Each structure stands twice: as C-alpha cells, then as structure tokens.
Structure 1
Amino acid sequence: MILDHYLKEEPMQQQGQHLLKYFSKDQIISTIEKDQTFYGNGKVLLSGEYFVMDGALAIGLPTQVGQSLAVKYSPSFNPKLTWKSLDPSGKLWFEASFEFWHFDLIGDNAPEEAIILQKILRAVRKQNTHFLRDSLDVSVTTQLGFPLDWGLGSSSTLIHNIADWAYISPFKLLFDTFGGSGYDIACAQSDGPIFYQKNIDGPNWSPIEFDPEFKENLFFVHLNKKMNSRTAIDDYNSKKPHSPEIIQALSDISREMTMVKTAKEFCFLMDSHEMLVGKELGYTPVKEQLFNDFQGSIKSLGAWGGDFILACSEKGISYVEEYFNKKGNQIVIPYDELVIKEQNEKSSKSKMH
C-alpha cells in the first residue's frame, strides 16, 4: 500500500480570537487548532552503511512508501494525548494514552513501544517547552505504508513527523533518542536519491541524479527477518577506531556508484563495498553466507543480517525471482517499484542542519 504524501498544515488563526480578552479565565478552554497531517518517506541505505556515522559519504534512497501522522484537537478540561498506530491495512498495532505534564502513561499497560514513545515526547518537550501545553485533547493516528518488519524506517519517519509537528530539529530528536547517522531523517524529507555525510558541522545532504540505466537489473530482496539497528550500531561502535582509509574508500565507491553505466560495473562496486565492510568489521558478506550460487552480486543494505538486500544480475527478473523464491525469499521488488524516482520542484538543494 503506497500512501499519498501529506503536507504539513499551519495552525489556523480562528475568527473571533480577538474577543478572548473579554472572557473570564474560567470561560476559556483553549482556541482549537486546526487538524494537521504530516508525512515522511521511508529509506534504503544503498552505500556507506555503518561508516556513515563516522563521516563516510553514503547514498540514501527515499522510498515510495513511508509513514503518515494525523493530529486532531478537541476542547477538554482534563487534556490528554491519545496515540494510535496503524499498519498498512489500517489494523491497530499500538495504542497508548499520556497526560501532558510529564507524559506519564495513563493506565497500567506499559508496552515497550509506549516507553519508547514516552522517551521521544519528553525529548521533544526539552526542545520545545510549549509543546502540548494547551487545554486540548490531542488524538494522534500514525499509519505505515509498509510492514513493520521491512526495516524501511518506522522509527525515522516517526521522528521526522513528530519533529515537524513540534517545530523542532528532527536530527537533534533522533540523536537524543535512537541515535544513528541521520541519513534516514534526510531521506524522510527528500524527494529523490541523496548523498549524505555527517561531519563536524552536522548532517549534510544534497540531491543527486541517480536513475541507473541498468535499474531493470536491480532488485530489493527481503531476508524474512528484522535487524535491530540499535544492536548493530553498538556492535559497530565497539570495534572503533576505524581507519580514515576505509571511510575514504567507501566514500569513493558511493561517488562511483552514481557514475557507472552498466550492471557489470555496478556489481563490481557492490562486491568491493561488501568486501571492505566485511573485512573491517569481521562480518561475512551475505552472498557468501546465504546465496553463494547466485549469478550476480548481492549487497547488504544498512545493518547486515536482516531487512532488505540488493541483488544485481544481468540474468533478468525471471531468474532473480525464481532463485530467491526457491530460497524462501518471496518478497523480490524491482528497483523502480520501491525507490522515489527523481527530484521534483519542491526538492531543496544541498542542506546542512
């Protein structure tokens, strides 16, 4: 299910607001804000995984599916925040309520997702002390455009949308909560492929022209298991320091990936990237581990060991689908069906936040 992109709406200036000065305090609940909707794109990290956190240039691919966040307001003398999260089919998978003072949970049920959301809301309040201070009931409904186990950014799109709603920095919110490089936040607000780099000045990204002539040879294959990004980051950090040479080499590969003209050349870069990362971190490349008879190249995307991999083969779609289906991997998505194709007029130029 591919969701439409939602645009942020500014709070409505209501008619008659100038008369509020004549009301006694007990006559005022609050001026009702206009309902709002927000949207963030999902993401795929094509290159630079792990080392993007230490300055490697990476290629980020925003996806055609993402997550929406809808906010509704209503008057209340005892305001609270009600949160509901829906999957692509509209089925409820998470629900919680919070009071506004410290975002304490209402009720006895405290699943892990509620504790994580509470941490995010408290981090938001530190950036914007006025966030959710009005006497209004607030009802939030989020909906994913992809299954939770796909790893396309359920957390990053949530962070992006909440930050957009609260008028705060999504990068600071990410670094204060989940951590990571921030490339996924850049993808959430970009309209096409990007170069992303995190340096001493902070996150930097810029749109790139990346629409491979050989894209009919590229496929995203789901490994049927979810990778815990936090665990992967911790393992990477435990193996520091990493040499500047590996970071430079991966950055060079990222640049070259945008310039090659054939699937054969791209496969060579995929293999080189896998070899460098695997050797530096002591990981076994996924092709060697699971698909050593595949006629083509395979590259991990993001944290190794789960979510999606990229397969490149000149044998074509029939071969690729048949091969992975026989291995038990039923989700094989052609490149063009997942990645946002190109920048549009709304897309900004290079950014730094």
Structure 2
Amino acid sequence: MVSAKSFYAHGKLLLTGEYAVLDGAEALCLPLQLGQKMRIKSCKNDFLSWEAYLPNQRVWFTARYDLNLNLIEANNAEPAKSLEGILKALKNLNQNLFLKGLKISTFLEFDKNWGLGSSSTLISLLAQWAEVNPYQFLNKTFGGSGYDVACAMAQKPLIFKNGNAQPVSFDPPFKDLIYFVYLNQKQNSRDSINLYRQKEKNESFIQEISLLTQKITKAQNLSEFETLICQHEEIVSQQIGEEPVQQKLFPNYSSGVIKSLGGWGGDFVLVTGKKEALNYFSEKGFSTIFNYSELIL
C-alpha cells in the first residue's frame, strides 16, 4: 500500500419540506454532528476491496470487485450489487478511476437503520474522492431532491430549493426543548417518493410549504414554532392522504407537538417538550432519543 486518503460527510435531517422539496419548495435542512468517514488506500493488486464498519467498529459488509467493477465475492449479495451499480455510475463520471487496486473502508457514526443519511453520505464521500458533481452522481444512483447531499458538506443549517443550498441562521433559543425520537423502523425513501409522485401536483402546496419554511426558520419562541409545525403537518397530511404521526401513534402526548421528518412512516420524528416528558416515549419502547444540541451541527 503506497498512499491513503480520508474523507468525511455529515448526516442529515429534513426539518421542513418533506415531499414538497421534490417539486421545488424551500426546505429547512439540518446537517448532523454524526456522519460517515471513508478511507481509500492504493494497493498492489488487481481488485477493489470494500469494508464497511458500524459505530461499534464491527464490520457489517465486505466485498471484492475486479477493476471493471464486477462483483467477485461478498458477505451480503444485496448491498454488494447495489454498490456495484454505484461504483459503475461513478466510473462513468470519471474514467480515470479504478485503474489500480484499492482498499476502501467506510465508518458509519450512526445506526444504518436510522435514516440519517447512510446513502447520501456515501454519495458525498465518493464524489469528494472522484472530484465529480455530487448531484449528478446522486441522479445516476439513488435520485431524490439532493438536500441530503447538500447537508453532507454543510457546516450549518440550509435552506434548500431546486438544487441550491443557502446557509441560514437557525439556532432556536428554545432548542433545549426540541428532541428527535426514532420510530424503530426505517422508511424507504424511494417508496415515499413513489407514493408522493402518484398524487396530483398541487402548486399551492409547494407555496404554502415554502412560506412555512421561512416562518419556522425565524420562529423566536416555542409557542410560535409549535403552531407552525402543526400547520406544516396538516398541509402535508392533506396532500399525501396520511394521518399526522402525533394523531396516529401518540394521540395522548400532551406535553408538546410531534412532526414527521422526511418520508412519513418511519425514521425520526421531532418532538417538543421538557426532558421529563420524554418518558412517554421511552415507556412505549421508543428509547433512541436525542436532544437538538446533541445531534445537530
């Protein structure tokens, strides 16, 4: 092994604009303190080896590919074939890659089932290394609005619209009353996008969400923030035909409000309330809980 390079990408949460961001609405996006690292070493061999580590330093995935990026062997066929497609898409964007043996290692800092950006951070990491446009690379692989790839390289919250990311001052004075609770099930982003695409496009929906994004970004007190959050939930609910998560799963929670983040039905939700109120969720078996300051960059 003669050289090594390292790269880093931040995870993400979409605070406003779920679904609507796909059609050009403004969305408030939050880069995380947790992300994914990647280390690439040149090797004196004729294949590419890949190792993926979980936060506990346990290897969960290994694979080998020839220099044409065809799979040789792997411990898990499904992610191995997916990765093969990703690597070939990267090669199409930069023909100077994969001309010699490589060892690539990735290190997740969060549970891969949490929906915090295991895919988007991977796209960002590979794009950084290959020096290609990350949005173009995303379009050739997972698709989506690109807000998650924008978060991967951000150092502060963003307003994202149509592939453009603008840093924004969002540091709510009531952030000690904002928490993120994991719903114990991963939501498939592609399924959420496909479901939304089946709905009739509504221009007023896009405009209303953009306006709420601006208002939420500027909210100065918890009461105003909660009112706007509830309005956002109701508008999205009407558009996609699904019941808001607070009514569906937590109708007895009376210490604050709850908002879905990203595709409805899984991953994390935003919860407002005092710390002692979170026992409500723990008692229901939802024990993965972060305070805003613990998680958000």
CA distance in 2, matches of 1:265, 1:327: 28
**Which segments of 5 or more consecutive residues in structure 2 lack a partner in the other structure?**
none
Question: Which residue identity does 1:111 align to in structure 2?
Answer: A
The alignment's TM-score, normalised by the length of structure 1, stands at: 0.82
Which residue is 2:272 aligned to?
312
Which residue is 1:346 aligned to?
none
2:61–2:76 CA contact under 8 A, matched in 1 = no
Which residue is 1:276 aligned to?
235
Q: How many residues align?
A: 296
Q: Secondary structure at the match of 1:71?
A: strand
Which residue is 2:43 aligned to?
74
CA distance in 1, matches of 2:202, 2:111: 37
The alignment's TM-score, normalised by the length of structure 2, stands at: 0.97
Say if 2:60 is the partner of 1:93: yes
2:245–2:258 CA contact under 8 A, matched in 1 = yes
Choose the corresponding residue for 1:117, options 77, 83, 86. Answer: 83
| Superposition RMSD in Å | 1.2
CA distance in 2, matches of 1:260, 1:107: 52
Question: Which residue identity does 1:45 align to in structure 2?
Answer: L
Q: Secondary structure at the match of 2:15?
A: strand
Which residue is 1:204 aligned to?
164
Choose the corresponding residue for 1:237, options 197, 208, 231. Answer: 197
CA distance in 1, matches of 2:191, 2:106: 25
Question: Which residue identity does 1:81 align to in structure 2?
Answer: L
Which residue is 2:258 aligned to?
298
Say if 2:230 is the partner of 1:266: no
CA deviation string 1:29-86 (max 9, x = no partner): xxx763100110000000000110100000000000000010011223xx11000000
- Point out 4+ residue stretches in structure 1 off by more than 4 angstroms: none
Greater Rg over alpha carbons, structure: 1
CA distance in 1, matches of 2:275, 2:228: 21
Question: Which residue identity does 2:9 align to in structure 1?
Answer: G
Say if 2:113 is the partner of 1:146: no
Choose the corresponding residue for 1:187, options 146, 151, 156. Answer: 151
Say if 2:175 is the partner of 1:215: yes
Of all paired residues, the percent bearing the same amino acid is 40
Which residue is 1:105 aligned to?
71
CA distance in 2, matches of 1:83, 1:75: 15
**Which segments of 5 or more consecutive residues in structure 1 lack a partner in the other structure?**
1-31, 341-353
Q: Secondary structure at the match of 1:47?
A: coil
